[in-house]
Amino acid sequence: MHNLERTFAIIKPDAVLADYSDDILNMIEENGFDILAVRPHHWTREQAEQFYAIHKNRPFFGELVDFMISGPLVMLVLEKENAVAAWRDLMGATNPDEAAAGTIRNLYGANIGHNATHGSDSLENAKIEIGQFFPELV
């Protein structure tokens, strides 16, 4: 059975600054994702607040927004069978200290606030997130 999905991914500013982008892109390709879009960008505060609106009442919201606008990031649209779950598996747990060995957050994340990558948490949210930046790819 084929269940081709698209998910939205970000190489976050910490990983871009540390020059991990190429290593992460290589891991993505080695794991069988098709990269449908790759766009370096520096978010405005408004874009970050809109993207993370679901977290606006969480205590770390301000820190999260400040971090995501602290430098350039890379936005990606990835396609694969079961892409949403497959990308979250490849990233590992939100907290790099808890991420399985060999996952992106284990290899390249420093702490829960600086955890190298983002990935949509559901197919529904993937469509919303892709739609915010790549409406032609939803």
For 12, other C-beta atoms within 10 Å of its C-beta total 24
Residue whose beta carbon is closest to ligand GDP: 113
Applying CB under 6 A, the residues found at the interface with ligand GDP are 60, 63-64, 94, 112-113, 115, 118, 121
> Which of 1/101 has CB closer to ligand GDP?
101
Structure-derived torsion over alpha carbons of residues 73, 95, 45, 53, reported in degrees to the nearest 10: 120
For residues 40 and 73, the answer to whether their CB atoms sit within 8 Å is yes
> Which of 57/136 has CB closer to ligand GDP?
57
Amino acid making up residue 12: K
118 is catalytic: yes
> Which of 1/65 has CB closer to ligand GDP?
65
**Smallest Cα–Cα separation from 24: which of 87, 71, 112?**
87
For 60, other C-beta atoms within 10 Å of its C-beta total 12
The CB-of-59 to ligand GDP minimum distance in angstroms stands at 7
Catalytic residue among 42, 55, 114, 118: 118
Residues labelled as active-site residues: 118
